[in-house]
Amino acid sequence: MYKTVVLLPAYCPEESLIPLCQQLNDSVSTVVVNDGSPSRYQELFDRLSEHTVILAHEKNQGKGAALKTGMRYIQETYGDCIVVTADADGQHLYRDILSCAKEAALHPDHLVLGVRDFSGKDVPIRSSLGNRITSLLFLLFTGRHLSDTQTGLRAFSSSMIPLFLETEGNRYEYEMNQLLRAVSKKIPFHEVRIETVYLDGNSASHYRPFRDSLLILRQFLMFSLSSLTGFLIDYTAFLLLSSLFPGSRGILISNVIARILSASCNFEMNRRIVFRSDQNWLEGFLRYLLLACLILFLNTGVLYLLTQGFHIRPWLAKLLCEMILFLFSWTIQKKFVFADETKGVTAL
């Protein structure tokens, strides 16, 4: 029989948390992290402490920080076990929590996700739309399709705790970073269909769609901004130089010089701001140089094909080249150039 510990991060929880923990404690161990809830909630946590382990943050630190606090405690206290993380707002049912625990025991090398059905009429628009957007972006940038990227019901072997403790993020972005970390380590996902529960239009949730979506998508957005800046440098230099050096040879020379200028700026922006890599500068530069040479070769080849083979004007051909190579560059930089085995999201 596998030992299971359910971890519930809680901020201003509802009364429904008490009967849920009572149910869980009949068959598994339960750890609740009070993430700095106001003092008026202390009586609720006192009642919970009669049958549940309660950990507490003095101030609110965010869901990611609460999950890490709970995982550290589980690692130190319970040893080998199945860990199930669930929400304290009533969205995850007792039977679904146990189902995910069972699947994690059967698939100890997987990250088990309890996935919801967003097609129902009772699903709030912000939840349905938010999940669709992040699922699409996750597919585009990782090549992995997940039905529910925002689910808080997850189960995994305690052997994965060190990996998830290293994962960046203290708030809602942590859960997306955890998925990215799993992809980077080639951890397979196993989806379990669960009941979709939204109480009072999901009013108990502390998820803030706009702000927290920006936190989740921060790296995607920063990479896009960095790429846009590099593109503007590249494109401006290309137009200026190609006007000075006409003809097919001039186009190739202009493209090479413009690419060298933009690549130098882009490397520093991505290393310092986007991926925040702590790796050796020279190692990162050599990897980036190799990628830059490859992209330069591809970029020049495609540009030559479009301008000479299809007779597309240089300014339009250049735009098409950059669009084609954008996702390719993102993937290689994440997986090879700025890969860092000691950090979370930066290791994809």
The closest alpha carbon to 101, from 75, 78, 74, 83, belongs to 83
What does CATH list as the number for 4-216?
3.90.550.10
How do the domains of the chain map onto residue ranges? 4-216, 220-347
d(CA 226, CA 203): 37
d(CA 35, CA 95): 25
d(CA 81, CA 2): 7
pLDDT tens digit sequence for 172-193: 788 888 998 898 889 999 999 9
pLDDT tens digit sequence for 189-238: 999 999 877 655 444 454 554 554 555 566 667 777 887 888 889 889 98
What are the φ/ψ torsions at residue 166 (nearest 5 degrees)? -80, -15
| Residue 86 DSSP SS3 | coil
Encoded tokens for 10: 């809680």
Instruction: Report the pLDDT value the prediction gives residue 342, as an integer from 0 to 100.
Output: 35
d(CA 179, CA 238): 39
Strand intervals (E) in the chain: 4-10, 29-35, 53-57, 82-85, 111-115, 154-157, 189-193
Taking the alpha carbons at both ends of the chain, their separation in whole angstroms is 34
Encoded tokens for 118: 């967003």
Residues whose CB falls within 8 Å of the CB of residue 298, separated by 6 or more in sequence, listed in order: 325, 328
Sheet strands side by side (includes 111-115): 53-57, 29-35, 4-10, 82-85, 154-157, 111-115, 189-193
| Cα of 220 vs its chain's centroid, Å | 10
Mean pLDDT by 10 residues, the chain (348 residues): 90 93 94 96 95 95 95 96 93 94 96 85 64 77 84 96 92 85 91 78 49 58 79 88 83 85 82 70 80 82 86 84 77 70 33
pTM reported for the whole predicted model: 0.67
